[in-house]
Amino acid sequence: MSARERASSLGALSKKWMNRDFPYRRRALERLVTRSGFSKRMAGEILDGLFSELKEAGLWRLLRAELKDPAVLDGFVKDRPASRLVRARGPRTILHVFPANIPNAAVMGLVTGLLLGSWNIAKVSRRDEGILPLYLASLKSHDKALWKTCLLIRSRVEAVAWAKKAELAVAYGEDRSLVEIRRHLPAKTPFVAYGSRVSLALVLREALSKKNAVLLAKKTALDVWRMDQRGCLSPVLVFAQKGGTVSAKDFAKLLAQELERLEKSEDSKPRRGLSQSLAARRLHDALQLQLLKGAAAAFWKSGDGLWAVGYDEKIDGEYASGAQVIRVKGFGKLSELEETFQRMSGALQAVSLECTASHRKKLAEWLSVFGVNRICRAGKLQKPPVTWHHDGRLNLANWLTWTDLER
């Protein structure tokens, strides 16, 4: 099967997943709600966001973006700058170790392996195997030949056994898990590790006009809400510059209002545990203490307590975030953020940046110094294009083995 044929088949399957009546989609939605704890609306958006990018055109775009000529996967093609012919082959077997609770990463990873024509061993988490088993079941009825190149495993022992045989291992997880997986791989087996990361929103004062602020708050709220603030693209900190027509503190309030609005419009609620309530409580307490000390601070909690937004102007120091808690930090000059960004470099993922067009490129340069690998507009954080350099790397080009044919 050629790369084009594989992209075409996988793209057609994605189209089916976009259909509201597709039985596998319906079951996936149910699973995302009951097992993974997302709300119904969140689950729908997760599937739409994922499969709209995995249509044939998107997959072809990914192949072209990374390989220039995707025919390189099927035979030798010209590499003009190097005056040679090149051929690329995917690994014979890829061991994928997928995380609990992040459904889209698993499907995206598997599809990438399938595009390359590899055998894919997919280890899912026992705690929450996500939607991958359903995706594979849908693949079986859609394209049996492709389905036959996949094997779903659940046990650690099996994963360790496959680690010895795989030509590539791709894993997602916390540093501790990644180190553990690497330990089981032969020395020369390439290992692609996607770790936990932080994303941010950065709003400059010029974007905080009366006209713009409400819309911006709405978009930022969507970025927070779409993955229930669990993904590496979920903003956990919002840096808002003081001195705009709408103050940074008022912007935080608008954000809290928008999250409350989203909460009210939900037909099901995302699941919350004690640690999330604790995080909100801790934020509330911390900000109240700042207020007692005379510092600028504020706290808002949505009606059902699903979301908490805190505002303060302490750029460094102790503060909790994540766990459905959003910190808005008011700042004066960009230079005030440097120390914090420096500390976060290596863990930074994406930044939604709102400023004037003339500032945008210069700020992007500055952010890239701290290892930010994606800069987008507010509202787009959770909708990365399939061509995004995830964790700042090529997605599939690095997985290949290349053969050069010189003259």
> Which residues form the interface with another protein (CB under 8 A)?
99-102, 105, 127-128, 172-173, 175, 194-199, 227, 229-232, 234, 236-237, 272-282, 285-286, 288-289, 291-293, 305, 316-323, 327, 343-344, 347
Alpha-carbon distance values, 36 to 51, 131, 251, 356 (Å)? 19, 10, 31, 39
**264: part of which helix (H) or strand (E)?**
helix 248-264
Query: Residue 36 or residue 149: which is nearer to another protein going by CB?
Result: 36
CB of 221 to another protein, least distance (A): 16
Instruction: Give the tokens for residue 242.
Output: 């003081």
CB of 318 to another protein, least distance (A): 5
Cα 291 to chain center, whole Å?
35
CB of 200 to another protein, least distance (A): 10
Q: Is 106 exposed, middle or buried (0-12, 13-18, 19+ CB in 10 A)?
A: buried
Rounded to 5 degrees, φ, ψ at 350 are -120, 155
CB of 326 to another protein, least distance (A): 11
| β 297-301/235-241 pair status | unpaired
CB of 156 to another protein, least distance (A): 17
> How many CB atoms lie under 10 A from the CB of residue 173?
20
CB of 199 to another protein, least distance (A): 8
Query: Residue 189 or residue 196: which is nearer to another protein going by CB?
Result: 196
CB of 207 to another protein, least distance (A): 23
Query: Residue 57 or residue 347: which is nearer to another protein going by CB?
Result: 347
Amino acid letter for position 193 = A
Query: Residue 253 or residue 272: which is nearer to another protein going by CB?
Result: 272
The full DSSP string for 301-366 is E-TTSS-EEEEE---SS----BTTEEEEEEESSGGGGHHHHHHHTTTEEEEEEES-HHHHHHHHHH
CB of 109 to another protein, least distance (A): 12
Query: Residue 190 or residue 195: which is nearer to another protein going by CB?
Result: 195
For 262, left (φ over 0), alpha (ψ -120 to 50), or beta?
alpha
Query: Residue 67 or residue 308: which is nearer to another protein going by CB?
Result: 308
CB of 102 to another protein, least distance (A): 5
Query: Residue 1 or residue 279: which is nearer to another protein going by CB?
Result: 279
Q: What's the chain's Rg over C-alpha atoms?
A: 22
As a whole number of angstroms, the distance between CA 397 and CA 19 comes to 31
Query: Residue 167 or residue 228: which is nearer to another protein going by CB?
Result: 228
Query: Residue 74 or residue 180: which is nearer to another protein going by CB?
Result: 180
Instruction: Give the tokens for residue 34.
Output: 């009951």
As a whole number of angstroms, the distance between CA 399 and CA 89 comes to 9
Task: Find the angle CA(345)-CA(380)-CA(358) to the nearest 5 degrees.
Answer: 75
